[in-house]
Structure 1
Amino acid sequence: MNFWAWALLSPLGPLFKDELGISSFQQALLLAVPVVVGSLGRIPVGALTDRFGGRVMFPLVSAATIVPVLVLGLVGHGSLATLLCGGFFLGIGGTAFAIGVPLVNGWFPPHQRGLALGVFGVGMGGTAISALTTVPMVKAAGVPTPFLITAAVLAAYAVVAALLLRDPPGRERVAAPMTRRLVAVLRLPITWQASALYALAFGGYVAFSVYLPTYLRTAYALPQDDAANRMAGFVVLAVLARPLGGWLSDRLRPTRVLGGALAVVVVAAAVQAFTPDLVPVGTVAFLTMAVALGAASGAVFALVAMVTPTEQVGAVTGVVGAAGGLGGFLPPLLMGVFYGSLNDYGPGLALLAVCAGLATLFTALLNRGSARAA
């Protein structure tokens, strides 16, 4: 539900560009602002979850997200300035991920956490709900409609979560100050290793879920609703692949799953960099990337759950989740810059292939190190 709210602006990016007359870079900035705020906000929210638990934090964050949703839907969509301001606070919804990982992690033994966290990660499919429903609702009943419906759903979830959600049995409340806990977390090697990998894996997913409608409309002249539906297909495949990545990580080393998935991203991104025909080559390339990025995202948190002390999972998740979201902030801006200056998206996708290649080599080194330790 929170990810649904977090992604409300993405399907409407082309509409706002046409109505407000903004540039490609301004459109990319508009779509990226909720991503970066939701990402950075995961750091304090993850640390607060270690202290107060998911039972407190989930209803709180869900209720707080209602405010920017209503503001954007009722009065905030008339200018770029109000959209940017509303999008800033809409980022609160994206912090919910840092609540769920430590909550789920505490309920399962280590050999089941990869799959469990992968299933929780299916919640990122809220972006698919947004992609499939936002544009049709706007066409049928006006811009405020999807925002009002999402606000009502969030309110209902906040009440249900407050009444029914439970923290894991025996959860120890962390009493140390947040700054001290964050400093301790930043000293853990896994924090930086997982952050780098998640910035590429989940960052790639976020970037495409935000920018793909614009890319498809610009590069292939697709209608707005068709582009949004294709983006939803990308999101659904990535969402379904996330539990697969976690399940495989429970049976193989997470680093092996990561290496294989990232190698697939290298090939698919390199193919799409040449802007092939959308059917069939472009479609296959994007859907293949969706599966690989989803599986890699699931494997990253299987790795975090495997090696992070239980009392630090929330804080580590916050930092890693922030890195993932920030990984999704930069690519839309770069894509806008590349297209605005070169009239070509190819360099952006080529850069993704290069980064995925470097990450593949990095996971190979991690896998070799874990094999030696075993």
Structure 2
Amino acid sequence: MQEKNTAYRVLALNTIAFTVCFAAWMLNGVLVTFLVDNRIFDWNAAQMGMMIGIPVLTGSIMRLPLGVLTDKYGGRPVYTLLMLLSAIPMYMLGQANSYNEYMLYSLGFGMTGTSFAVGIAFSSVWFSKERQGTALGIFGAGNAGAALTTLGAPSLLRWLTNNGENLDNWRKLPAYYAAALVVMAVVFYMFTTNRKPANGQRSIIQMLAPLKQVRVWRFGLYYFLVFGGFVALAQWLVPYYVNVYAMTIVTAGLLTSIFSLPSGIIRALGGVLSDKFGARSVMYWVFGIIALCCFLLFFPKMEIESPGSGVMAQRSGTVTALSASEIQVDELTYPLIPKVEVNYEDDAVILLPKLNTWQESNVEVGDQVAKKELLASGVTHIYFQANVWVFTFFVFVIGIAMGIGKAGVYKFIPQYFPTEVGVVGGIVGVVGGLGGFVSPLIFGRLLQSIGLWTTTWIFFFVFTMVCLIWMTLVVRKISKKDTRIEVAGS
């Protein structure tokens, strides 16, 4: 009973610490948007993508060594030192005056992202294999820290800067985050009990042996999508809402939290579902839902005028009369579709594209026209609202699917690598975290080159289909192998 209570206490503090670290890790999504929006720094879309992603890079590449250290020394000292050391560059971020300085300090506080590898390894040693899916799902709910930043940081910035009157006070925000990391480190060290896995004293080479297996990298690819995609969107959606829907940063943060908060919390349910139905079944649903929603988000907010169906003369003659509704050539009358002015702003919600078609005369009274000559050109006007609430609903569904998928992927790890959770979880976390770094860079480049914000969803759709196809091929291979074994044994 004593050990059970200790396990629950460790899991609770692991989750809270992860929430604080994740909130710190996601700071640049809000802060960079604020700094560029208020012209404190003059950074283009590609530079913004780099700055949003740079903390994610550190938090990703350092997950493997931190996972190894946790297996070797236990989570209590590693987690505590991680938070204390990360607080230093977080504080210094408020002193940055240039792109390079801001990038350097962002690389430093990005270490908070390694908290995931530490917490996964430290949580798993306290629970049996049968309960690890649920336990790790609960721990992963700390992803909700992203919502704490997208919800709270914009309001804090507005308060600190007195609604923009004293913009230089943005520098106090990183100091608040640094203080939260220090307080959490002290609480964590005081109230947790250290524990290491039974095989934690193996050599580094022995601990890294699982990385030779393709399966590890396949799990990493899945995590690139469900975790890296979550991290990227939790930050990228703030400038997305600001630019596409002309919202304030506070409103953008609020709507972004509709994506990030449920996605973090639902991860616990993902662990339960993975324990009950198996990770593979869960991941099929996850990939299918993400692919469908991303496809529906392909189409940008747009107004397009395109050539439509025109009117041609059936025989030669002279134009004798002309109006908005008809053209008369000698005794023959050609009806026209008149233009009807439509105010689309009167419609609160437009789900599907709206078409408005009309015809415009190309001739005047007295003109001589030949047979098959174009009398009136057709015009088709296409309007698609890409309504913000419909958009937010699909983003919300993607967030839910990603949250469940994150737990699904980490259910695979203790199932296939029960004694190497820290190492395998570390490398899967590295690949997944790199998704959070690479994706904003890709978003920024696609936006600059094509000019469409919706290229974000095209990228995710293609990547999701790659994951789905690869998993399907592996499952078929396993099924054929199992069939051959059954036939051989019958």
Q: Which residue of 2 aligns with 1:178?
A: 204
Cα separation, 1, equivalents of 2:150 and 2:159: 15
Contact 1:202 1:328 in 2 (8 A): yes
1:192 aligns with 2:217: yes
1:293 aligns with 2:402: yes
Letter in 2 for 1:164: F
Q: Which residue of 2 aligns with 1:320?
A: 428
1:49 aligns with 2:76: no
Query: For the structure 1 residues 232 and 339, does the alpha-carbon distance in structure 2 shift closer, same or farther, using more than 3 Å as the test?
Result: same
Contact 2:299 2:454 in 1 (8 A): yes
Letter in 2 for 1:181: M
1:73-98 deviation line (CA, Å, top 9, x unaligned)? 2x12x221111111011111000100
Cα separation, 2, equivalents of 1:179 and 1:128: 38
Letter in 1 for 2:388: V
Cα separation, 2, equivalents of 1:178 and 1:14: 41
- Structure 1 segment 53-132 matched on structure 2, within 5 A: 53-73=74-94, 75-76=95-96, 78-132=97-151
Question: What is the CA-CA distance between 1:348 and the residue it aligns to?
Answer: 3.0
Q: What TM-score comes out, normalization by structure 1 length?
A: 0.94
In terms of Rg, which structure is larger?
Answer: 2
- Structure 1 segment 96-245 matched on structure 2, within 5 A: 96-141=115-160, 142-168=169-195, 171-172=197-198, 174-182=200-208, 184-245=209-270
Cα separation, 2, equivalents of 1:149 and 1:368: 52
Contact 2:143 2:263 in 1 (8 A): no
Question: What is the CA-CA distance between 1:146 and the residue it aligns to?
Answer: 2.6
In structure 1, the gaps of 5 or more residues are none
Aligned residues between the structures: 369
Q: Secondary structure at the match of 2:40?
A: helix
Q: Which residue of 1 aligns with 2:296?
A: 271
Cα separation, 2, equivalents of 1:3 and 1:64: 15
Cα separation, 2, equivalents of 1:275 and 1:34: 29
Cα separation, 2, equivalents of 1:189 and 1:113: 23
Q: Secondary structure at the match of 1:9?
A: helix
Contact 1:137 1:145 in 2 (8 A): no
Contact 2:75 2:194 in 1 (8 A): yes
Contact 1:29 1:333 in 2 (8 A): yes
Cα separation, 1, equivalents of 2:197 and 2:246: 53
Match of 1:346 among 440, 451, 454: 454
Question: What is the CA-CA distance between 1:51 and the residue it aligns to?
Answer: 0.3
Query: Which deviates more from structure 2 when the two are superposed, residues 104-113 or residues 198-207?
Result: 104-113
Contact 1:256 1:363 in 2 (8 A): no
Contact 2:129 2:418 in 1 (8 A): no
Contact 1:122 1:239 in 2 (8 A): yes
Q: Which residue of 2 aligns with 1:26?
A: 47
Letter in 2 for 1:258: M
1:93-149 deviation line (CA, Å, top 9, x unaligned)? 000100111111111112211111011001111111111111211221221333222
Question: What is the CA-CA distance between 1:173 and the residue it aligns to?
Answer: 5.5
Q: Which residue of 1 aligns with 2:415?
A: 306
Q: Which residue of 1 aligns with 2:351?
A: none
Contact 1:35 1:94 in 2 (8 A): yes
1:313-360 deviation line (CA, Å, top 9, x unaligned)? 101111000111101112211111121122102333112111111212
Contact 2:443 2:456 in 1 (8 A): yes
Cα separation, 2, equivalents of 1:52 and 1:280: 48
Contact 1:2 1:65 in 2 (8 A): no
Q: Pairwise CA RMSD of aligned residues? A: 1.8
Higher relative CO (Cα under 8 Å, sequence separation at least 6) belongs to 1
Letter in 2 for 1:217: V
Contact 1:256 1:364 in 2 (8 A): no
1:259-304 deviation line (CA, Å, top 9, x unaligned)? 1111100011111121352333211111110011111111000111
In structure 2, the gaps of 5 or more residues are 1-19, 161-168, 302-385, 484-490
Query: Which deviates more from structure 2 when the two are superposed, residues 130-139 or residues 198-207?
Result: 130-139
Cα separation, 2, equivalents of 1:210 and 1:125: 13
Q: What TM-score comes out, normalization by structure 2 length?
A: 0.72
Contact 1:217 1:227 in 2 (8 A): yes
Contact 1:220 1:278 in 2 (8 A): no
Contact 1:70 1:148 in 2 (8 A): yes
Richer in strand (by share): 2
